Amino acid sequence: MIHSARSAAQPLRLAQFLTFVNDSKLMTLKRWQSVVWGSAVALGVAICGPVQAAERVNIQVGPIKQTLYVSDLEEFAKTGQVPDRLRLYESFLTPELRTMLNNRVVLDPAMADRMVADILASPNGELLLDSLARVAPGLTVEQIRGAIRLAAKQTNGLNMLGVLRAVPQDTLDVDLTSALALVSQLNLSRLEGDALSSVLEQELLVSDDIDLPDDIDPTTVGPMGVTQRSYKFVDSDRNRLIPLDVYVPDEAFVEEAPLVVLSHGFAADRHFLTYVGEHLASYGFTVVAVEHVGSNVEALSNTPLDPTAVEEPSRILPASEFLDRPRDVSYVLDRLDWMEQVSPMLEGKFDTERVVLIGHSLGGYTGFALAGAQLDLSALPSFCDSLTPVGLSPADWLQCAAVELPEVTADLRDSRIIQVIAMNPLVGRLFGRKGLADVNVPSVILTGTKDGVTPTLAQQLGPFNQLSGPDNHLVAVIGGTHLSVGDPENVNEALTQIPFMPELSGEQAATLREYLRALSLSVTMQHTSGAKNYNVFLEPAYAQQFSTGMLPIRMTQTLPESVKGWLRTVAPEQARAEGETLRSWVHLKTFDARKSVGNAHRRMMAYLRQEQVSITVLYWPMRLPWI
């Protein structure tokens, strides 16, 4: 969704947008990386008084009260050494907690006050302040608000200890139960993603050998030259401009080669997947990269951002875009068909009756809508009404723009679409509980398990589980983020530095992009006479060969039963109630633990088969609780 930028001003604009969507996370809260208890203690400390005034923090759980000294925590943050008075809490004072205490978001002091003030003045900001006030009942909302704004003005950046120094309070009572509840909700979505990464990496691992042909390498540039042409179409019925780039091969690959259409995501443009378009064209496929002007980067740049925009997602993403985007593609296909008929130069270039659509983020939604998924917004209003700032992703917020549509359902199907490749798609609740079951063309969904914009659970795994058509594939990029698949020449580096959403792109994702060239080519080849030659490149073992230590890759055509069971447990089609993320995380960690026990059992059995081992058995008179 949040992708490329074409000017120096646009990265700041996109960063501001992400700030609005993530205002409830309040800068560094998203980056907390300690255990829940340790984070809860730190949260309480972070909103207490300045160093010279606040000497003590009383942590209270029911009738039990423990006192922490602020100077001890500062010493731990500075040196990593645990002071004597904190020995009782040593197991919670981890390196991750120390990092969290020292982490800071560097803000331009000239802009910081306005940005933070806008965030805290928004509805979600008010909810967060109310939550913090429950954590520290001795502080008012205004005191907390003032401390955060004051800390944000510091030239060395905003961090927890900066907030600590900003509130004039001698001693602070912290309700640990409330702190735990808040931190659990803020932090467990990240823990859930980490646990999911581990489960998918292990459950989808294959050990099969694979024999690759010597004469075909789908990652290399094809044999044909490519000419790029740019057009601007105007759909007069909708008063809609549609810019597009067309990558035309010098020669047709085969007569039955389908047309490929690229659809970008929200706040991107038609250049986001340029490397994919050029690669496919070098093998003889004509590729059309469509730009959706109502939801591209320029549209966002022209949209005023103010605190009230958070209350109305359709001010940022017009509700009509959920209809206009698919209609853009259908109009382009109609127009290209006409051009081919009237221009001898273009004859045979566009097979508009057989189209492979490759979309990223909101472009993935576009592809599924065209492939037959029925837009069904009947349950969306109740979901959007129940949203809380905790765990809110940009995808959750943006899909709520569709609530403004007068239509509750819509059929945007275009029978010319014969294949969908959806990378990090935004799906969520836009098609209802079973909308993707109506997609009857082969589909590939790519998910990145650390995508903070369109999270894996609601946006990709749940939707993949709905697909009932033939020959579907899921590609899981373990540790992949929202921008990992983007063209490095067209993803502004400033967008990879946003503190809320650390991104892996550029050189870090070079091997992933190499695989995506092979994947997109091999999938598209399935609709030609050369399909059999490329079947081997759609095997899970081939995908695994492109794994790196940073980004392991897995592929499957069916989810493991354990993951399906997890999906049923967390019910992604419903609004997630308080505590759902915790339950999901525990469920995933159970898979992980079961796998570890199984591995240990296999190692032990192998050891016993090879060694002569003496085993002493003792009688234990009590029944163990886990037996």
Tokens of 472: 């579907």
How far lies 537's CA from each of 117, 158, 357, 552, in Å? 52, 48, 19, 17
Strand partners, 296: 268
Q: Are 557 and 208 in contact (CB under 8 A)?
A: no
- Please tell me the distance from the alpha carbon of residue 455 to that of residue 444, in angstroms, as a whole number: 17
Verify that 391 and 457 share a domain, yes or no. Answer: yes
Tokens of 175: 């309700």
Instruction: Tell me which DSSP letter residue 457 carries.
Output: I
The confidence score (pLDDT) of residue 149 equals: 73
Report yes or no on 265 lying in a domain.
Answer: yes
Q: Are 48 and 59 in contact (CB under 8 A)?
A: no
> Which helix (H) or strand (E) covers residue 213, if one does?
none
Range with the poorest average pLDDT among 2-6, 261-265, 592-596: 2-6
Residue with tokens 């234990």: 620
Q: What are phi and psi of 329, to 5 degrees?
A: -65, -45
Instruction: Tell me which DSSP letter residue 243 carries.
Output: E
Verify that 412 and 377 share a domain, yes or no. Answer: yes
Report yes or no on 17 lying in a domain.
Answer: no
What's this model's pTM, rounded to 2 decimal places?
0.72
For the chain, the average pLDDT equals 79
The confidence score (pLDDT) of residue 21 equals: 55
Verify that 124 and 77 share a domain, yes or no. Answer: yes
Verify that 404 and 541 share a domain, yes or no. Answer: yes
One-letter amino acid for residue 289 of the chain: A
Say if residue 71's pLDDT is above 90: no
Dump pLDDT digits (tens) for 542-561: 999 999 999 999 999 999 88
Instruction: Tell me which DSSP letter residue 151 carries.
Output: H
Residue predicted with more confidence, 469 or 448: 448
Q: Are 407 and 437 in contact (CB under 8 A)?
A: no
How far lies 529's CA from each of 97, 474, 481, 516, 533, in Å? 57, 24, 35, 21, 9
The confidence score (pLDDT) of residue 571 equals: 52
Verify that 163 and 240 share a domain, yes or no. Answer: no
Verify that 173 and 261 share a domain, yes or no. Answer: no
Say if residue 242's pLDDT is above 80: yes
- Please tell me the distance from the alpha carbon of residue 192 to that of residue 575, in angstroms, as a whole number: 16
Residue predicted with more confidence, 155 or 24: 155
Q: Which long-range contacts (CB under 8 A, 24 or more apart) does 230-236 make?
A: 233/331, 233/332, 233/335, 235/327, 235/328, 235/331
Region 274-301 average pLDDT? 95
Q: Tell me the residue length of the chain.
A: 627
The confidence score (pLDDT) of residue 589 equals: 54
Report yes or no on 190 lying in a domain.
Answer: no
Say if residue 588's pLDDT is above 70: no
The confidence score (pLDDT) of residue 29 equals: 35
Report yes or no on 625 lying in a domain.
Answer: no
Helices (H), 461-579: 462-466, 510-525, 531-534, 540-544, 561-570
The confidence score (pLDDT) of residue 563 equals: 84
Other beta carbons within 10 Å of 332: 23
The angle formed by the CA atoms of residues 452, 35 and 428, to the nearest 5 degrees, is 25
Report yes or no on 82 lying in a domain.
Answer: yes
Residue predicted with more confidence, 148 or 216: 216
Verify that 384 and 493 share a domain, yes or no. Answer: yes
The confidence score (pLDDT) of residue 597 equals: 54
- Please tell me the distance from the alpha carbon of residue 483 to that of residue 471, in angstroms, as a whole number: 26
Report yes or no on 51 lying in a domain.
Answer: no
Q: Are 581 and 192 in contact (CB under 8 A)?
A: yes
Q: Is 551 helix (H, G, I), strand (E, B) or coil?
A: coil
Say if residue 569's pLDDT is above 80: no
How far lies 201's CA from each of 206, 461, 559, in Å? 10, 14, 12
Report yes or no on 596 lying in a domain.
Answer: no
Range with the poorest average pLDDT among 116-120, 278-282, 452-456: 116-120
* Side-chain half-sphere exposure of 558, counting CA atoms within 13 A: 6
Which one, of 490, 488, 489, 480, lies nearest residue 459 by Cα?
Answer: 480
Verify that 403 and 552 share a domain, yes or no. Answer: yes
Beta strands 259-263 and 375-376, pairing class? unpaired
Q: Are 416 and 352 in contact (CB under 8 A)?
A: yes
* Complete DSSP assignment for 72-120: HHHHHHHH----GGGGGGGGG--HHHHHHHH--B---HHHHHHHHHHHH
Verify that 281 and 384 share a domain, yes or no. Answer: yes
Out of 521, 544, 559, a domain closes at 559
Dump pLDDT digits (tens) for 512-527: 999 999 999 999 999 9
Q: What is the largest CA-CA distance in the chain?
A: 91
Report yes or no on 370 lying in a domain.
Answer: yes
Say if residue 88's pLDDT is above 80: no
The confidence score (pLDDT) of residue 174 equals: 74
Out of 182, 214, 245, a domain closes at 182
Tokens of 383: 């979901």
Which one, of 394, 592, 425, lies nearest residue 500 by Cα?
Answer: 394
Verify that 247 and 358 share a domain, yes or no. Answer: yes
What are the respective helix, strand and coil percentages of the chain, to the nearest 5? 50, 15, 40
The span from the first CA to the last CA of the chain, in angstroms, equals 49
Report the Cα 120 to chain-centroid distance in Å: 24
The confidence score (pLDDT) of residue 106 equals: 57
The confidence score (pLDDT) of residue 322 equals: 98
The angle formed by the CA atoms of residues 523, 525 and 530, to the nearest 5 degrees, is 140
Residues in Cβ contact with 16 at an 8 Å cutoff, skipping those fewer than 6 apart: 115, 305
- As a whole-number percent, the residues of the chain with pLDDT over 70 amount to 67
Q: Are 489 and 531 in contact (CB under 8 A)?
A: no
Verify that 157 and 210 share a domain, yes or no. Answer: no
Tokens of 188: 């467990």
Whichever domain contains 397, its CATH number is 3.40.50.1820
Out of 530, 559, 588, a domain closes at 559
Tokens of 530: 């050369």
What's the structural domain count of the chain?
2
Q: Which domain holds residue 130?
A: 56-182
Verify that 163 and 221 share a domain, yes or no. Answer: no
